[in-house]
């Protein structure tokens, strides 16, 4: 029995030694080989550090709403415009940040009064036996009104599904960020001619005749016919972002848009931007 007790003591001692050796190896394996790696961000202190690409924090996106005056195509002149946009970050370097932008804008205005000539009314007067001079003069020398004073009322919807915006970040210490933008546009234009003065009191016959012909003065101004006109174009712009806080900015913006092949829209805006 004594040898059995001695064997048991030796067995227990061997097991304890083996367990201690394994525990020491596991503890050594779990100890870090060196200090933790440095953070991946490369920005300096300021709003830039709170934007991803590559810093951890805010992603650098922006949504905004704008309002201001516009200078419209087709001889309409000064008017108003409102717009909204969203910027999504694409890349960043030491000088600034590149964003993808989607823009939606609506502008409108009313032109000064001008005279139009109704060709169908002129032909109808000739058909009633009036001379060319009398047919052009209209009542009382001819039955139908040929010359009318009107104003063009314009509504122009501008959709930019693809635009790029580059924002300079070198003035972050002063909370200022200049930027430039450019993109492709689709413009939907709707116009109508509003009679002015005595022309607004035209008879039912005059109105019916007037609907049949397109005045040459409208074609000379490039005003599209029909209920609406769809054009492809583009825009460029410049602006200044004034950062009020990490999530809010006030921007000053100018945009020049090309509508079709030969018409332009100018827009100056005050913008409220929200950042996240």
| Confidence label for 37 from pLDDT (cuts 50, 70 and 90) | low
Please, are residues 187 and 257 in contact by the beta-carbon 8 Å criterion?
yes
The answer as to whether 175 is a domain residue is: yes
pLDDT confidence of residue 101: 97
Mean pLDDT calculated for residue range 100-129: 92
> Residue 126 is encoded by which pair of tokens?
């000739």
pLDDT confidence of residue 252: 97
Mean pLDDT calculated for residue range 1-29: 49
pLDDT per residue as tens digits for the range 217-245? 888 888 887 677 899 999 999 999 999 99
The answer as to whether 34 is a domain residue is: no
pLDDT confidence of residue 32: 54
- CATH code of the domain containing 186: 2.40.160.20
> How many structural domains are present in the chain?
1
pLDDT confidence of residue 182: 98
The 3 state secondary structure assigned to 46-115 is CHHHHECCCCCCECCCEEEEEEEEEEECCCCEEEEEEEEEEEEEEEECCCEEEEEEEEEEEEEEECCCEE
pLDDT confidence of residue 73: 94
The answer as to whether 170 is a domain residue is: yes
The answer as to whether 162 is a domain residue is: yes
pLDDT confidence of residue 5: 47
The answer as to whether 33 is a domain residue is: no
Q: How many helices (H) and strands (E) does the chain have?
A: 5, 9
Asked if the model's pLDDT at residue 209 lies above 80, the reply is no
The answer as to whether 173 is a domain residue is: yes
- Of 163-177, 191-205, 231-245, the poorest mean pLDDT is in 191-205
Asked if the model's pLDDT at residue 46 lies above 90, the reply is no
> The whole model's pTM is what?
0.71
Distance, CA of 93 to CA of 171 (rounded, Å):
14
| Confidence label for 187 from pLDDT (cuts 50, 70 and 90) | very high
Q: Residue 270, SS3?
A: strand
Reference 169, options 48, 17, 77; nearest CA is 48
The answer as to whether 9 is a domain residue is: no
The answer as to whether 247 is a domain residue is: yes
Give me the domain span that covers residue 260.
58-112+151-200+221-275
């Amino acid at each position: 029995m004594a040898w059995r007790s001695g064997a048991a003591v030796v067995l227990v001692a061997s097991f304890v030694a083996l367990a201690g050796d394994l525990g020491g190896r596991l503890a050594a394996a779990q100890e870090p080989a060196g200090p933790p790696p440095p953070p991946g961000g490369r920005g300096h202190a300021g709003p830039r550090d709170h934007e991803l690409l590559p810093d951890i924090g805010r992603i650098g996106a922006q949504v905004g709403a704008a309002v201001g005056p516009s200078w419209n195509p087709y001889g309409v002149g000064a008017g108003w415009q409102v717009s909204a946009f969203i910027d999504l970050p694409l890349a960043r370097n030491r000088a600034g940040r590149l964003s993808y932008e989607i823009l939606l804008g609506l502008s409108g205005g009313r032109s000064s009064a001008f005279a139009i000539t109704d060709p169908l009314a002129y032909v109808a007067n000739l058909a009633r036996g009036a001379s060319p001079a009398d047919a052009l003069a209209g009542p009382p020398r001819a039955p139908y009104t040929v010359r009318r004073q009107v104003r063009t009322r314009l509504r122009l919807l501008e959709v930019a599904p693809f635009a790029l915006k580059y924002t300079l970040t070198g003035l972050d210490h002063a909370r200022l960020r200049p930027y430039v933008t450019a993109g492709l546009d689709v413009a939907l234009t709707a116009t109508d001619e509003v009679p002015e003065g005595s022309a607004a009191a035209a008879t039912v016959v005059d109105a019916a005749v007037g609907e049949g012909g397109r005045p040459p003065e409208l074609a000379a101004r490039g005003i599209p016919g029909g209920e609406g006109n769809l054009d492809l174009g583009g825009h460029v712009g410049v602006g200044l972002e004034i950062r009020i806080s990490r999530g809010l900015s006030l921007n000053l913006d100018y945009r020049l848009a090309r509508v079709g092949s030969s018409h332009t829209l100018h827009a100056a805006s005050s913008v409220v931007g929200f950042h996240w």
